[in-house]
Chains A and B, each alone.
Chain A
Amino acid sequence: MRRFIEFVVRFKDYITLSALMVICFAMMTFGNVAQLGGFRTIVVGGIGWMQNVFSWIPNPVALKSENRALRELNLQLSTETAKMRQAMLENEKLRKMLAFKEPSSAPIVPAEVIGKTTVQLRNFITINRGAKDKIKPGMVAKTDAGVVGTVVSASDNFALIQLIIDRDARIAARIERTGIDGIVAWEGEQNLIIKNIPKSYDVQAGDLLVTSNYSNKYPAGIPVGRVTEVRDEANSLFRKILITPAVKFSSLDQLYVVLYVPNPERAQMEQEIEKRVEQSIQARTSKRVR
Chain B
Amino acid sequence: MAVFSEQSSVLNTSPALRYIYYAVIALVLCIIHRMFLDLISVAGVTPDLLLLLTVWIALKEGQSVGQFAGFGAGLLFDIISVDVLGTNALAKSIAGFIAGYFYSEDEREDKTGSYKFLLIVFLCALIHNLIYFFFYIRLTEMGFLEFFLKYGVASTLYTTVAAVFPMLIASRKKRYDDRDF
Contacts and interface: CB of A to CB of B under 8 A. Distances in A.
B5 to A, nearest CB: 32
A33 B89 contact: no
B59 to A, nearest CB: 15
Interface stretch (B17-25, B30-38, B109-117): B30-38
B57 to A, nearest CB: 14
Contact of A32 (B38, B64, B84, B141): B84
Contacts of A187: 142
A119 B46 contact: yes
A162 interface: yes
B82 A188 contact: no
Interface string B62-97: 011001100100010011111111110110011001
Interface of A: 12-13, 16-17, 20-21, 23-28, 31-33, 36, 39-40, 43, 47, 50-51, 54, 57, 59, 115-124, 152-153, 160, 162, 167-168, 185-189, 195, 278, 282
Interface residues of B, number: 48
Interface centre among B75, B85, B93, by most A CB within 10 Å?
Answer: B85
Contacts, number: 132
Contacts of A26: 86
A123 B44 CA distance: 9
Interface string B121-156: 000000000001001110111100011001100010
8 contacts: A13-B64, A13-B67, A17-B67, A25-B86, A122-B82, A124-B82, A167-B137, A188-B151
A40 B85 CA distance: 12
B82 A153 contact: yes
Nearest to B88: A120
B39 interface: yes
Closest A-B pairs by Cβ, 5 of them: A27-B86, A24-B90, A28-B86, A24-B86, A31-B85
Given A121-B136, A122-B81, A21 B38 contact: no
Contacts of A168: 140
Interface of B: 31, 33-39, 41, 43-44, 46, 48, 63-64, 67-68, 71, 75, 78-87, 89-90, 93-94, 97, 100, 132, 135-137, 139-142, 146-147, 150-151, 155
Contacts of A32: 84-85
A152 B83 CA distance: 12
Contacts of A162: 82
Nearest to A117: B34
A187 B33 CA distance: 24
A103 B48 CA distance: 47
A121 B44 contact: yes
B36 A119 contact: no
A188 B36 contact: no
Contacts of A119: 33-34, 37-38, 41, 46, 81
Nearest to B137: A167
Given A57-B36, A117-B81, A188-B150, 16 more contacts: A24-B71, A28-B84, A28-B87, A50-B31, A119-B33, A119-B34, A121-B44, A121-B136, A121-B147, A122-B82, A124-B81, A160-B82, A162-B82, A167-B136, A168-B140, A188-B151
